[in-house]
Chain A
Amino acid sequence: MAEFTGYTFPLSENSLKTEEIVRLTGPGFEDEILRINQAFLNINALAGVTVIERSLTTPEMGSKISKIFEKAEKTALFVLTLGRGYEKIAETYRGDSLLYYLTDVIASEYTEVIAHVVNRKIAEYASSLGLGSSNRYSPGYCGWKLSGQRALFSFLPPIPCGIELTDSSLMKPVKSISGAVAIGRNIRFQKYDCGICKDEICLYRKKFIL
């Protein structure tokens, strides 16, 4: 199997500003957000990437994503997680609905931030080889069936970065993301990629951050 490279990303180096969080939670709770956000800065997110030296398509990917991945010369498969650090914070606030919710939102946003960082790392790796790279795609999005998690995890070591895949394809700890990036001469990053998918409720459709 191709090598799995592990990374540690301290959230303190990727910190979110209160304003960025307020955009998600609405105003009025800046003090609480500041306090909770502070606790997140002690967390080290973990990520791991395996690059395989060929294109990869799986039956669960669906035709739209497959079309992108079949052109690849290499495929990067990744996972990332906030790990147990998040769960400890969430436990502290479980008894208070507001603080628990804010913790959840902040954690989800940090998970997305780290996914972005991983996507960028893979892009840097690709460009160091003179190759292009795609957006990140995840099982459960853009027509890639969630059950495709199993095939994705088969390219990673058991329990990568401490992430366990349950029978329902859920990752534990919960604040985790898995996905793949296509790498190759004819692969390009798409600024706005929602054209390939019809999912009207998808959060990326609103954010346009792909």
Chain B
Amino acid sequence: MDNYIEKISICIQKGKINMDSPYPPDMKGLPGADELTGEALKNGVKANEILTGAMIPAMGIVGELFKDKKLFVPQVLMSAKAMNSALVHLKPYFTSGEIKRRGTFIIGTVAGDLHDIGKNLVSMMIEGSGWDVIDLGVDVKSEQFLEAVKSNPNAVLGMSALLTTTMESMEKSVRHIRDLYPNLRILVGGAPLNSEFASRIGANLYAPNPQVAVEYLNS
């Protein structure tokens, strides 16, 4: 049993999706996270064990390595893909309630800003750490954030801005939402931001990379 957990974890860490995937070259022709998760479940490994014993810790290792600049973005994306291929097998267990997500994370790039690469990466890493992610896309107005929070009152909200001008629209959105939801947890990120800005506008955390956000969410 441990063997499956170990193997799935390695596939996710290395970004091995399935048998057909040529990446990484040293695992060519071997089964990936997809096949191994299917087999593990067939052989009686509990869905929860796969999720919490293999998938989430593996993505944690990937996040940590990325934070330390030991991985390039494409490697992280391959890990996220491997993770997703395993998640497909767990879907019925989420639906039946046998396993649960840690919570819901809403994310979007603020109004006036079209940068999505960083936001997409954060979405994937947070999903990989066991959260349900609602990605509102780019150029998201306060009203759209509010709408999503209204439908998911226990969610945590994440906002991204890459321009100094759209930091202003981030500030407006955070203040507006904060007025209505004083206890909502709001995380912000993006290259030109810093912790001082985050606390000034009333956000709970500035995360320079996805791992800092994951650690905060799971603490």
Which residues of the partner chain B approach A102 to less than 8 Å between Cβ atoms? 74
Q: Is A146 an interface residue (CB 8 A)?
A: yes
Which residues of the partner chain A approach B44 to less than 8 Å between Cβ atoms? none
The 0/1 profile, CB within 8 Å of A marked 1, for residues 43-82 of chain B is: 0000000000000000000000000000111110110110
Q: How far is the CA of A173 from the CA of B72 in the complex (A)?
A: 26
Q: How many CB-defined contacts (below 8 Å) exist between A and B?
A: 62
- In contact, B165 and A28 (Cβ under 8 angstroms): no
Q: How far is the CA of A102 from the CA of B75 in the complex (A)?
A: 11
Q: How far is the CA of A144 from the CA of B57 in the complex (A)?
A: 43
Q: How far is the CA of A25 from the CA of B117 in the complex (A)?
A: 13
Closest chain B residue to A104, Cβ basis: B117
- In contact, A146 and B164 (Cβ under 8 angstroms): yes
Which residues of the partner chain A approach B120 to less than 8 Å between Cβ atoms? 97, 100-101
Contacting residue for A28 out of B25, B114, B115, CB 8 A: B25
Q: A98-B78, A170-B114 are in contact. Are A26 and B72 (CB under 8 A)?
A: yes
Closest chain A residue to B71, Cβ basis: A26
Which residues of the partner chain B approach A104 to less than 8 Å between Cβ atoms? 117
Q: Is A190 an interface residue (CB 8 A)?
A: no
Q: How far is the CA of A170 from the CA of B124 in the complex (A)?
A: 26
The bracket for how many chain A residues form the interface is 20 to 34
Which residues of the partner chain A approach B72 to less than 8 Å between Cβ atoms? 25-26
B62 shortest CB reach to chain A, Å? 14
- In contact, A28 and B24 (Cβ under 8 angstroms): yes
- In contact, A97 and B191 (Cβ under 8 angstroms): no
Residues of A181-196 contacting chain B, CB below 8 A: none
- In contact, B165 and A26 (Cβ under 8 angstroms): no
A198 shortest CB reach to chain B, Å? 13
Contacting residue for A170 out of B74, B166, B191, CB 8 A: B166
- In contact, A28 and B166 (Cβ under 8 angstroms): no
- In contact, A28 and B75 (Cβ under 8 angstroms): yes
The 0/1 profile, CB within 8 Å of A marked 1, for residues 23-37 of chain B is: 111000000000000
- In contact, B74 and A145 (Cβ under 8 angstroms): no
Q: Is A5 an interface residue (CB 8 A)?
A: no
Q: A26-B72, A97-B120, A145-B164 are in contact. Are A168 and B77 (CB under 8 A)?
A: no
Which residues of the partner chain B approach A146 to less than 8 Å between Cβ atoms? 163-165
The 0/1 profile, CB within 8 Å of A marked 1, for residues 113-124 of chain B is: 111010010001
- In contact, B112 and A166 (Cβ under 8 angstroms): yes
Residues of A162-180 contacting chain B, CB below 8 A: 166-170, 172, 174
Q: A97-B124, A170-B114, A174-B114 are in contact. Are A140 and B77 (CB under 8 A)?
A: no
- 24 A-B pairs within 8 Å (CB atoms) are namely A25-B74, A26-B71, A26-B72, A26-B74, A28-B23, A28-B74, A97-B120, A97-B124, A98-B77, A101-B73, A101-B77, A101-B117, A146-B163, A146-B164, A146-B165, A147-B164, A147-B165, A167-B112, A168-B113, A168-B165, A169-B163, A170-B166, A201-B191, A201-B192
User: B residues touching A (Cβ–Cβ < 8 Å)?
Assistant: 23-25, 71-75, 77-78, 80-81, 111-115, 117, 120, 124, 163-166, 169, 191-192
User: A residues touching B (Cβ–Cβ < 8 Å)?
Assistant: 25-26, 28-29, 97-98, 100-102, 104, 140, 145-147, 166-170, 172, 174, 201
